[in-house]
Structure 1
């Protein structure tokens, strides 16, 4: 996967959030399960954030990405890939429906103040509906993917970002509110349907990025797609639960590995977000 050297990166597409770095050990077993249940949360994560629901706040100022101007900057400044991901994903959604409002990635280390409360690395990458921003602890993300047993890399990162921006699109369309109506656990729950739709959206985005000659991201290879599908596999609820010794579909919040890969693949094959209506699907 490459970044088109002359394509523009919008400077506001990512910025750094405040917060100190604290020690965090990534362990196996139940500790990992609790930690990863929050991964790709998408819907309001306030129950997992300290202090519960809080009024909307903005991230504390930190290092900005104003030096990230074009795709060529990613080669010399790897951190520029985060606003590049955000620029590309926003461009995809701008084309999909009128009235789309761009979101941004807030990168942080250790902890960050969000519209949904104080978040730490343990929350994993997530979207906060209160401030409509995506939050990623960039250092911790790589460690987490490695702990879960995937190859990681930029392709896996793009999938994660596209999934979270899919939640932003759901929020703008009123679909996140719909997902909160009903059970928040179980293999057929509204929560799982929302997560699978975000996976399908991510697949449709990747298909678009791969085919669009004007997009910032280019040359998505077969190996990149293997990494994307593998990332979807390791964040399946059953894969995570297996690490604690018991698989219980009644407790699923995101869907099994097979389900996540199936809907991701649907988006990849069709490139059409209209094919991602998990809420009307009879089977997932």
Structure 2
């Protein structure tokens, strides 16, 4: 997953909010309308793990000053060398793709943060994982989630696993603009469609002008591994010791992998119909 060294990055699409407030516990009043990649199940997992061995209290959070992304992230070469700049590059590519697919596409800014912050969907902390808020049309991302994806959810990780996570959340933005966000009943088809949309972007990413060449089989394997790691059945098995399909919110590992593969094989958003992703 190599960016073109001379690709111009638009850092205005990503804002680093720095670190503020406390983290580690349940966020008050959180309502995630667009869906996060792990949402409530992961929230429970992270809350439990964060409080083992510390007496049940939240851990202190160091305040982190925001980065100046406009200075740090200018070209694709920067994206190959810095995690934050890689986020900028992926966001630029994903939005560049959707701009060609949705008439009047409105950009959604990604907010990088640590600890906690308030959003139009309520108070957010790192415990909720990455999520899209339709209330302010922003993607919220605590970069520590990528470490959790490996250490707590068992994914192999890697740059393209990160790209999959970001593309999934922008899939929710595309749903919002296309009025496809689920408002009632099971959220699984909505989440699987976001996975499928991530695969569609991956198929077309090189055409956005940010990457040297199409993604390799190793890149795609990272995405599939990450999709499997955050399947409801995998998470429930690790945390509860049993699997309850009736309580699924995002789909099983197999469903999530299949949805991404369907999008990647087709390369067309029209082939990500929710009715066919169950």
Q: TM-score range by the shorter chain?
A: 0.7 to 0.9
Q: C-alpha offsets along residues 149-195 of structure 1, whole Å, 9 cap, x if unaligned?
A: 1111110010000000000010111111xx113x2xxxxx2x11100
Residue matched to 2:267:
271
The question of whether the paired residues in 2 share the 8 Å contact of 1:124 and 1:141 is answered with no
- 1:9 paired with 2:9, answer yes
Residue matched to 2:241:
245
Q: C-alpha offsets along residues 134-160 of structure 1, whole Å, 9 cap, x if unaligned?
A: 011002332233311111111001000
- 1:180 paired with 2:177, answer no
Displacement of 1:62 after TM fit? 3.5
Distance 1:144 1:229, change over 3 A: closer
Displacement of 1:252 after TM fit? 0.4
- 1:229 paired with 2:224, answer yes
- Give, in whole Å, the separation in 1 of the partners of 2:258 and 2:38: 19
Residue matched to 2:37:
40
- 1:127 paired with 2:132, answer yes
Residue matched to 2:252:
256
Residue matched to 2:103:
98
Distance 1:78 1:251, change over 3 A: closer
Residue matched to 1:64:
68
- Give, in whole Å, the separation in 2 of the partners of 1:253 and 1:87: 28
Distance 1:102 1:113, change over 3 A: same
RMSD value, Cα: 2.1
**SS, match of residue 200 in structure 2:** helix
Task: Give the unaligned 5+ runs of structure 2.
Answer: 26-34, 41-64
Residue matched to 1:30:
none
Residue matched to 2:53:
none
- Give, in whole Å, the separation in 2 of the partners of 1:142 and 1:129: 26
**SS, match of residue 148 in structure 1:** coil
Alignment TM-score, normalising by the size of structure 2: 0.81
- Give, in whole Å, the separation in 2 of the partners of 1:21 and 1:159: 28
Alignment TM-score, normalising by the size of structure 1: 0.80
- Give, in whole Å, the separation in 2 of the partners of 1:42 and 1:203: 20
- 1:208 paired with 2:204, answer yes
- Give, in whole Å, the separation in 1 of the partners of 2:82 and 2:228: 30
Task: Give the unaligned 5+ runs of structure 1.
Answer: 26-37, 44-60, 184-188
**SS, match of residue 175 in structure 1:** coil
Displacement of 1:18 after TM fit? 4.6
Larger deviation, residues 78-87 vs 93-102: 78-87
Distance 1:202 1:84, change over 3 A: same
The question of whether the paired residues in 2 share the 8 Å contact of 1:200 and 1:263 is answered with yes
Q: C-alpha offsets along residues 248-268 of structure 1, whole Å, 9 cap, x if unaligned?
A: 111001000111111110001
Distance 1:63 1:270, change over 3 A: same
Displacement of 1:42 after TM fit? 8.0
- 1:164 paired with 2:160, answer no
